[in-house]
Amino acid sequence: MKKLINDPADVVSDALRGIEAAHPGRLRVDHRHKLVVRADAPVAGKVGLVSGGGSGHEPLHAGYVGPGMLDAACCGEVFTSPVPEQIMAATTAVDGGAGVLHIVKNYTGDVMNFEMAAEQARAESGVRVEAVVVADDVAVQDSLYTAGRRGVGATVLVEKIVGAAAAQGRDLDSVAELARRVAGAGRSMGVALTSGIVPHAGTATFDIADDELEIGIGIHGEPGRGRVPMAPARQIAAMLVEPILADRDFTSGPVIALLNGMGGTPLIELYLMYGEVAALLERAGVRVARCLVGDYVTSLEMAGCSLTLLAADEEMLALWDAPVDTPGLHWGSEGVGTSSGPAPADSTIAGPGSPAEAAASESAASHAPVEGSASEPTGAPASEPTGASASEPTGASASEPTGAPASEGTASAAAWTLDVAAAHAWLADFAARVHANVDLLTDLDRQIGDADHGANMDRGMRAVAALLVQDFADAAALLKKAGMTLVSTVGGASGPLYGTFFLRLAAALPDGAPGSPGVDARAFGAALRAGYDGVVARGKAQEGDKTMLDALAPALRAYDEAVGRGAAAAFEAATAAANAGRDATIPLVARKGRASYLGERSVGHQDPGATSAALLLESAAATLGR
């Protein structure tokens, strides 16, 4: 892997410093929460627009912050959704009194984290929050048995059109209604010639031969819905156009077209592709009124392109033509075409000293900076979790997790209780096992996802391990703090799911006050069940969907059946069942999460979430069951 980076763990933080240096007076950066905010936010009386997602798609989303588009962008780790704390901070930063709209791409982690942040914002600050979910990728067949269509290129069009409406002073209800209308009118399809390389993974997310083409790819480097022999551009153009036109009628009105590069394709090839696409659309009776060609939603250095068509109307065209001043899109009312032909999209950024830059600087000077600075910490300490070293080999096979040295447990079969020391040992051991198996978890996720599960879980459990030097009143307090920490540090779907598991588990534990019933093995089993139920409610999945539930569900059944023989027997049975459930995910078709986009191509691969869940049960057996 050759990249222009320092440490793979610091890519997003380092890039944000670059954004801040490149656009002084126009944008400000909250380094603590990893936000990019327009310099004059909040704008009084204006609906605030917040979007975000994993980094690696630039200029989406940070490049679209500024007048006429977004008020703030939340920058998650590479290909990992932002956490609720980030989204909450962005929502607060842009609330000018007229409410805030969240624009969310339809990925499981994005949706869950934005939902949690909206709930928190309503409860804690009283700000009114609405959300629109963009789901435009026709490569994914929308179904009750999948996560639904991915949000891809139409996200840019939603942010531009809705940004113009918000700038006009429209209220939250009308802005949200317009956003849903635009999102519903867009369709996209993508192809890839090569995969991207996630910095912390160091290898391509999927392997593809020089004479092959991946059809139906998303924007996270995950494989598409099929693979075909490499073909001339005119044939590839048909592979993009035909599925889109088959999914919706685009002949009844004007269309906005986006021919988007995935990050590694030269502009000359993108224009060549647009020429082929335009010819096909003309023959099909589609009238392109506006178009963009270039890199607008990328997937690191992936070579390939995507096509997005939006069935527009005159209102949408007028809002598209409205002035916009962001690093990624920049044009004014002068020179923007209003005829039926494509409008020129001058992407030149106003440089320092220009009138636009000076005006932004004056506006920024009258507002306090967003909380956070370059010198403030951005996450958990990078210290090694207990029992593991970054340099130690795991010795794991492709599917068998490596064990970690167990901390001294406090359980006995005769009179088992859960106390702070036991909970401490469990969390420390789980952190060590995750760290020892980070490469395995990454590789499993690379095969059917976006290669971030290992790094995300390791980051979260490092943060949990850092908590263990603190004093807690009881096990419930420690496990609650662990859950909150995972929600705020992991990102993706795993943060809300594992965080919810520990939060619900902690809430279900008996009161630790003097004289109250202790946490015996049966009470702990009930608390585990509460944690499981929380995961089901949060993720809307069930056993058999090829998720972490496929390890947790059989583990809890086995625990309940064996608990009468004592805690040690219960944890041993639960671990064996979790490992069997993990292995049983291999022949399953994924029906939830990012792997569900692959359909039948997910068969034959072990689920990374079930693998980390099995590690959680192994840690419980090694510590709580001793």
Q: Which residues pair with 101 in a beta bridge?
A: 49, 130
> Is-catalytic flag, 435?
no
Peptide bond into 514 cis (omega under 30): no
Peptide bond into 355 cis (omega under 30): no
CA 555-561-565 angle, 5° bins = 115
Closest CA to 36 of 46, 44, 22: 22
Structure tokens at 331: 């044009």
Task: Please pick, among 31, 33, 220, 453, the residue that the annotation labels catalytic.
Answer: 220
Q: Is residue 555 helix, strand or coil? A: helix
Tell the burial category of 510 from Cβ atoms under 10 Å away from its Cβ (0-12, 13-18, 19+). middle
Q: Which residues pair with 76 in a beta bridge?
A: 54
DSSP string, 332-390: -STT---SSSPPP---PPPPTTSHHHHHHHHHHHTSPPPS--TTS--SS--PPPTT--T
The DSSP element (H or E) to which 87 belongs, if any, is helix 84-94
**DSSP symbol at 63:** G
Q: Are 231 and 213 in contact (CB under 8 A)?
A: yes
Q: Provide the pairing of β-strand 287-294 with 254-261.
A: parallel
Place of tokens 């593809």: 208
CA distance 478 to 556: 22
Which residues contact residue 172 at a Cβ distance below 8 angstroms, ignoring those fewer than 6 apart?
47, 98, 99, 100, 101, 128, 130
Which residues contact residue 577 at a Cβ distance below 8 angstroms, ignoring those fewer than 6 apart?
554, 555, 557, 558, 559
CA distance 293 to 263: 12
| Sheet strand arrangement including 212-215 | 226-229, 212-215, 186-192, 304-311, 254-261, 287-294
Which residues contact residue 23 at a Cβ distance below 8 angstroms, ignoring those fewer than 6 apart?
327, 349
**DSSP symbol at 538:** H
> Is-catalytic flag, 367?
no
Task: Please pick, among 23, 57, 424, 435, the residue that the annotation labels catalytic.
Answer: 57
Instruction: State the catalytic residues.
Output: 57, 220
